[in-house]
Chain A
């Protein structure tokens, strides 16, 4: 079975500073990796996903993530954050042995961007 660990429950950062949200996963088989974002009072939406190929994946709103198989990590980064990036971010995994491809989510990291 797969599992996902998000290492930080909250990350406060000043506007225009860089940010990294950490995610580690556990799996015995190949997986697909995702980052979803949840803005206040909205549903989750996909930021980016890693399926195969280049380990650096670019997503919406200037976010990118790097897949590191040896460290089983999929950290999310943005070089310069905006106030509007304040939201909850969820790392997720889906794979061949999750029993029908259901997606498993981490506990989330709340990004708080301060002016």
Chain B
């Protein structure tokens, strides 16, 4: 168990640029989540996958955001035409089967700063 890995740890970009983050969940985990956390707030749900299927997207997720999990393993989160309001910590979490009583295993996050 190597844990959930997120890359990069930090990303600084200019407004209007596109960025992509990667998450590698724990290998046997079927469920993968993306959350966003801003200063002084708890993680806000963005989207989740069950294997390769994206089952839900939050209304917080505008059409500039897209996430994929092509082979049911790693996932990418892309933000197009970044805005300053996108600055946040982007967290990835995974769980074994995705039932409501399971704990989530979190990565250390990708801190995005949009200048």
Contact = CB atoms under 8 A, between A and B. Distances in A.
Interface of A: 4, 6, 9, 32, 34, 36, 41-46, 49, 51, 90, 92, 94-96, 98-108
Contacts of B101: 32, 49, 51, 94
Contact of A102 (B33, B41, B42, B108): B33
Contact of B100 (A9, A101, A105): A101
5 contacts: A36-B106, A44-B106, A98-B100, A100-B55, A102-B33
B16 interface: no
Given A102-B48, A102-B56, A46 B103 contact: yes
Contacts, number: 64
Contacts of B41: 107-108
Give the interface size bracket for B toward A: 20 to 34
Interface of B: 3-4, 33, 35, 40-45, 48, 55-56, 91, 93, 98-101, 103-109
Contacts of B40: 9, 107-108
B91 A44 contact: yes
B100 A90 contact: no
A94 B100 contact: yes
Given A94-B100, A101-B98, A103-B104, A43 B42 contact: no
